[in-house]
Amino acid sequence: MIEKVNPKHPDKVADRIAGAIVDLAYEKEENPKIAVEVLIGHGHCMIVTETNVKVSFEEVENAVHRIAGKNIDVHILPNKQDEYLANNQNGKIRCGDNGIFKGVPLTEEDRQISYLAHQIYDKYNSDGKYILDQKTNKCIICQSNAKTEELKELYPTAIINPLGEWTGGINVDTGATNRKLGSDMGNAVTGGGLHGKDLSKADVSVNIYAHIKAQELQKPIELFCAIGDEEIDGKPYEEIVKIAKDYINKLGGFEKLAEWGLF
């Protein structure tokens, strides 16, 4: 049983904005320290940042308007990173927080729901949510701004828009960062959020590392860490960060990671 949402779902819009702001920070510094939380909906976008990098209001506003539309009032609460947390990273890349992580190999069910979500998004490019349960052979498609009869022709065995046609998006609903981790990570487990953070945060780097290793070994990978750790899974934390950075660079950045998550 798995759920997948597309990049226009309000929660994913929030994730994408957070990712875009982290991308801006990496454009300015090689190893920035930044954490971003986003709440968006009904014409407003609230952003709270903790960072040692100066990202201008105009840069953030442009990112919000590009992703969510121009009729959004942007409100930013910038804060400096706590000095004790900042000192943890002085001179060496150490683990930036505590956490538990479980990477899991992707299943055929995961691949099928991902293919379905991409296929529908390519056609409609608007808010959508999809559920697949292979045990009961049931598929539920909730797709905004789409004719139900048209979807039924494309997916005759699926349950389509149970309450009828709908518009969706941030003018109907609100979105917040890291609220769709099941969609982003499948059956994997994490104690934190995947989006809106630099790579010193284990929530990003160790989650990515565990995901990659689980796919390579085709078995679950369980890891944990404490803030300040210099080694995880027998590797220097700096190496974990590099593996995660290479993964994100191949995707095209943190905003791209936020679009679909880890699969």
178-201 pLDDT, tens digit per residue, is 999 999 999 999 999 999 999 999
How confident is the model over 32-50, as pLDDT tens digits?
999 999 999 999 999 999 9
pLDDT of res. 87: 74
Evaluate if residue 86 carries a pLDDT over 90.
no
Quick one: average pLDDT of 65-80?
A: 97
In the block, tokens 């780097």 appear at: 205
- The structure's pTM equals 0.96
pLDDT of res. 92: 79
CB atoms within 10 A of CB 244: 22
- The pLDDT-based confidence of 96 (bands split at 50, 70, 90) is confident
Quick one: average pLDDT of 206-231?
A: 97
Burial class (CB in 10 A: 0-12, 13-18, 19+), 62: middle
Amino acid at position 79, single letter: N
Quick one: average pLDDT of 145-151?
A: 96
Quick one: average pLDDT of 156-176?
A: 96
| Least confident residue range of 80-84, 198-202, 219-223, 233-237 | 80-84
Tokens standing for 87?
Answer: 């000192």
Helix axes 10-28, 57-68, angle to 10 degrees: 140
Evaluate if residue 83 carries a pLDDT over 90.
no
At residue 187, the 3 state secondary structure works out as coil
Evaluate if residue 132 carries a pLDDT over 90.
yes
Quick one: average pLDDT of 6-18?
A: 98
Query: Average pLDDT of the chain?
Result: 96
| φ, ψ of residue 95 in degrees (nearest 5) | -60, 130
Nearest to 212 by CA among 242, 182, 238: 242
Consecutive H or E run containing 256: helix 254-260
User: Considering the domain 10-83 in this protein, what is its CATH number?
Assistant: 3.30.300.10
pLDDT of res. 81: 85
Quick one: average pLDDT of 133-145?
A: 97
Evaluate if residue 155 carries a pLDDT over 90.
yes
- The pLDDT-based confidence of 78 (bands split at 50, 70, 90) is very high
- The pLDDT-based confidence of 93 (bands split at 50, 70, 90) is confident
Nearest to 190 by CA among 210, 219, 212, 176: 210
pLDDT of res. 84: 77
Quick one: average pLDDT of 242-255?
A: 98
CB atoms within 10 A of CB 123: 13
